[in-house]
Chain A
Amino acid sequence: MFLIGIVTEGTVIGVAHDHAIEAEGLVKEFGETLAVDDVSFAVPRGTVLGLLGPNGAGKTTTVRMMTTLTKPTRGTARVAGHDVLADPAAVRRSMGLTGQSATVDELLTGRENIWLIGSLYGIDARAVGRIADDLLERFSLADAGDRIVKTYSGGMRRRLDLAVSLVATPPVLFLDEPTTGLDPRSRLELWDVLRELVREGTTLLLTTQYLEEADHLADNIVVIDHGRVIAEGTPIELKDASGRAALVVTVSRSEDLQRAADLMVSIVPDHHIDESARRITAQGEGLADVTRLAAAFEDSGIDLDDLGLQRPSLDDVFLHLTGHRAEDPSTPRDDEDVA
């Protein structure tokens, strides 16, 4: 009866809110250290949640609790409707995990890595063979499939790591800093693959320190710092919350700078001149200001390099929320993630 009760409850919640992942008051203490402090969020099915925070914010520990690798001190989480405490085995069948460092086996070939995890899932040998072909093809590793992983580049390892997590086509995928250490091109490639997975219906939770990554991939963002959720919302909501958009005008010749500023006063009263960048920044109301400014400059004879509306970046958001930059290496890391 107990088991049925949990399954039913999980299913009801899953359908009612259609959440593939739910964290409920997750707390993790390591001795005296509070690594994760009352973290709650929900991820609608088929969407991407970005768990954003600096090193040591508690992202990895949160993911480890949700993937049954470590038990929460308090609180719980559900993955695909299964409770991580009540039915960890069902959670493990429903999700794939790609850890922080590429956890593929260096001495095995790419194909053997897929075979290893597929066999352990309990997929029969012939099916694993077919799946390996598909995955290697899809992740552009077909030619490298029979080479040992030691010879792979960082990007190839990451792609294989992700491929291995997909052996059993889990509906929920956890990615812990999937692009850390990748060059920009490999990162873009991986983003494409992730978007495709989401199009096919996979629910994704990814942790990242890169604001850009969360901005590109995530439908919703949870910002976490010192183990606590400090903000959440869509990327646009978070940007709106931390200030209005700025009008930015860059003139081609610095001698035009003062004339341009005088011209702008009639439209937007407050502005700031940055001489070295030949740039004038002003608080704008929206796109209407851009149109009016563009019309004014068209008749002025001042050549412009750029004119536009600049929303605050997520980096600005993070600064606004925490008082420190997300990727600042000097950020104190007193609560380092336990890897």
Chain B
Amino acid sequence: MSTPTTSAQQGTGRRDAHIERPEIRRTSLLRQSLVITRRNLIHIRRMPEMLLDVTIQPVMFVLLFAFVFGGSIAVGGSPAGYREWLMAGIMGQTIAFASFIVAVGLTADIDKGIVDRLRSLPINPAAVLVGRSISSLLHSSIGVVIMSLTGLAVGWRIREGVLDAMLAYALLLSWGFAMIWVGILVGSAMRSVEAVNGLMFATMFPITFLADTFAPTEAMPGVLRTVAEWNPLSSLVQAVRELWGNDVPVGPDAALPLQHPVLSTLIWVALITAVTAPLALRAFARRTAD
């Protein structure tokens, strides 16, 4: 985008003069990304069932875990304690599924040739990814809002200060940011939406369960407990719990990341992004450029 763009420069000679062209202005990456974001949001408006993954599904999880399993999982000594404890876990799982949303949307666009069409336009190629990322984060945010409301209905409360509560939401979003890169990587590598669905179900469900999301790690057998506590998602969930005041203090024998959950969440986010972002960009370039 280094050359200035005015309509006068479009043609290469006077013979084009009779083709009247509209004024083409140079636009910023942000503006281009927002146009693509708006297009993705129109999709959600036309197909509200796209939101099932961040509405009905997590609400069902809250209700299932709170009332079906809740009685048998002792946290803080009472079912009400478990319900509060559970909320951060389900939020963490919902935001981890942002990768899913990005991957499905991106694969569909590549598959249908939309990405090619966008790449043939005089825009920054990154706008396709940035626009997809923004709309996916908004998509996930809708889930977080709905979950918060559901939580309030089943007795969950924020028991710490406003700033801490905001920080918890910010950590969730930063986690969503890291997940976007995972989503771009998977979306670029997979050849169809079905393949994305298959891969993500097979990996994301175990990963989000093998953590301190739905059950405390203390009761897990040795090796599994270590894996669960080193699961990056556990740090996020524990951090959010502490910031909302929904936590039961972790034991002194818990793994290192859980002793400093906020810091370790930030490190995990930076690490995941640093590893997956270059891979994701390369996979996307390779997938779309040949």
Other-chain contact of A201, B19, B121, B288 (Cβ < 8 Å): B19
- Chain B interface size band reads 35 or more
User: Contacts of A81 on B, CB cut-off 8 Å?
Assistant: 12-13
Asked whether A101 and B24 contact (CB < 8 A) given A80-B11, A120-B121, the answer is: no
**CB of B236 to closest CB in A, whole Å:** 33
**CB of B45 to closest CB in A, whole Å:** 9
Task: Tell me if B207 counts as interface (CB < 8 A to partner A).
Answer: no
Task: Tell me if B113 counts as interface (CB < 8 A to partner A).
Answer: yes
Other-chain contact of B116, A71, A103, A112, A167 (Cβ < 8 Å): A103
Task: Tell me if A194 counts as interface (CB < 8 A to partner B).
Answer: no
Chain B residue at smallest Cβ distance from A174: B120
CA separation between A100 and B42, bound complex, in Å?
A: 25
Task: Tell me if A195 counts as interface (CB < 8 A to partner B).
Answer: no
Asked whether A201 and B120 contact (CB < 8 A) given A93-B24, A101-B113, the answer is: no
Asked whether A169 and B47 contact (CB < 8 A) given A71-B289, A87-B3, A92-B120, the answer is: no
Task: Tell me if A51 counts as interface (CB < 8 A to partner B).
Answer: no
Convert A321-339 into 0s and 1s, putting 1 for each residue whose CB lies closer than 8 angstroms to a CB of B.
0000000000000000011
Decide: A122 and B15 in contact? CB cutoff 8 A.
no
CA separation between A106 and B43, bound complex, in Å?
A: 9
Decide: B5 and A171 in contact? CB cutoff 8 A.
no
CA separation between A99 and B42, bound complex, in Å?
A: 23
Per DSSP, chain A at the interface is: loop
Binds B, one of A9-17, A206-214, A268-276: A9-17
Decide: B113 and A30 in contact? CB cutoff 8 A.
no
Chain A residues 115-133 with CB under 8 Å of chain B are 116-124, 127, 131
Chain A residue at smallest Cβ distance from B112: A103
Decide: A18 and B15 in contact? CB cutoff 8 A.
yes
CA separation between A116 and B40, bound complex, in Å?
A: 11
User: Contacts of B123 on A, CB cut-off 8 Å?
Assistant: 120
Decide: A99 and B1 in contact? CB cutoff 8 A.
no
Q: Which of A14, A69, A95, A200 has the most CB of B within 10 A?
A: A69
Decide: B19 and A90 in contact? CB cutoff 8 A.
no
Task: Tell me if A140 counts as interface (CB < 8 A to partner B).
Answer: no
Asked whether A92 and B39 contact (CB < 8 A) given A127-B22, A200-B19, A201-B18, the answer is: no
User: Contacts of A290 on B, CB cut-off 8 Å?
Assistant: none
Other-chain contact of A120, B10, B32, B290 (Cβ < 8 Å): B32
CA separation between A182 and B257, bound complex, in Å?
A: 60
Chain B residues 1-59 with CB under 8 Å of chain A are 1-3, 5, 10-13, 15-16, 18-27, 32, 35-36, 39, 42-43, 46-47
CA separation between A108 and B22, bound complex, in Å?
A: 23
Convert A20-48 into 0s and 1s, putting 1 for each residue whose CB lies closer than 8 angstroms to a CB of B.
00000000001000000000000001100
User: Contacts of B288 on A, CB cut-off 8 Å?
Assistant: 69
Decide: B21 and A107 in contact? CB cutoff 8 A.
no
Task: Tell me if A313 counts as interface (CB < 8 A to partner B).
Answer: no
Task: Tell me if A94 counts as interface (CB < 8 A to partner B).
Answer: yes
Chain A residue at smallest Cβ distance from B109: A105
Per DSSP, chain B at the interface is: loop
**CB of A172 to closest CB in B, whole Å:** 10
CA separation between A169 and B20, bound complex, in Å?
A: 7
Q: Which of B43, B113, B114, B117 has the most CB of A within 10 A?
A: B117
Decide: B122 and A121 in contact? CB cutoff 8 A.
yes
Task: Tell me if B281 counts as interface (CB < 8 A to partner A).
Answer: no
Task: Tell me if B118 counts as interface (CB < 8 A to partner A).
Answer: yes
Other-chain contact of B290, A30, A94, A121 (Cβ < 8 Å): A30
User: Contacts of B119 on A, CB cut-off 8 Å?
Assistant: 68-69
**CB of A336 to closest CB in B, whole Å:** 13
Decide: A168 and B19 in contact? CB cutoff 8 A.
no
User: Contacts of B114 on A, CB cut-off 8 Å?
Assistant: 103, 105
CA separation between A201 and B18, bound complex, in Å?
A: 8
Other-chain contact of B24, A3, A71, A100, A121 (Cβ < 8 Å): A121
CA separation between A50 and B220, bound complex, in Å?
A: 68
Convert A121-152 into 0s and 1s, putting 1 for each residue whose CB lies closer than 8 angstroms to a CB of B.
11110010001000000000000000010000
Chain A residue at smallest Cβ distance from B288: A69
Task: Tell me if A202 counts as interface (CB < 8 A to partner B).
Answer: yes
User: Contacts of B19 on A, CB cut-off 8 Å?
Assistant: 169, 171, 200-202
Task: Tell me if A76 counts as interface (CB < 8 A to partner B).
Answer: no
Task: Tell me if A67 counts as interface (CB < 8 A to partner B).
Answer: yes
Decide: B12 and A14 in contact? CB cutoff 8 A.
yes
Decide: B35 and A127 in contact? CB cutoff 8 A.
no
Decide: A112 and B25 in contact? CB cutoff 8 A.
no
Decide: B13 and A122 in contact? CB cutoff 8 A.
no
CA separation between A134 and B19, bound complex, in Å?
A: 15
Chain B residue at smallest Cβ distance from A14: B12
User: Contacts of B13 on A, CB cut-off 8 Å?
Assistant: 11, 14-15, 18, 81
CA separation between A277 and B263, bound complex, in Å?
A: 87
**CB of B153 to closest CB in A, whole Å:** 32
Task: Tell me if A230 counts as interface (CB < 8 A to partner B).
Answer: no
User: Contacts of A124 on B, CB cut-off 8 Å?
Assistant: 23, 25
CA separation between A131 and B21, bound complex, in Å?
A: 10
> B residues bordering A, Cβ < 8 Å?
1-3, 5, 10-13, 15-16, 18-27, 32, 35-36, 39, 42-43, 46-47, 112-114, 116-123, 127, 288-290
List 15 A–B pairs whose Cβ atoms lie within 8 Å, in order of A's numbering: A11-B12, A87-B3, A94-B12, A99-B117, A103-B114, A105-B39, A107-B46, A120-B36, A122-B5, A127-B22, A168-B24, A169-B20, A171-B11, A338-B290, A339-B113
The 7 closest A-B CB pairs, nearest first, are: A81-B12, A103-B113, A92-B122, A122-B25, A97-B120, A103-B117, A122-B27
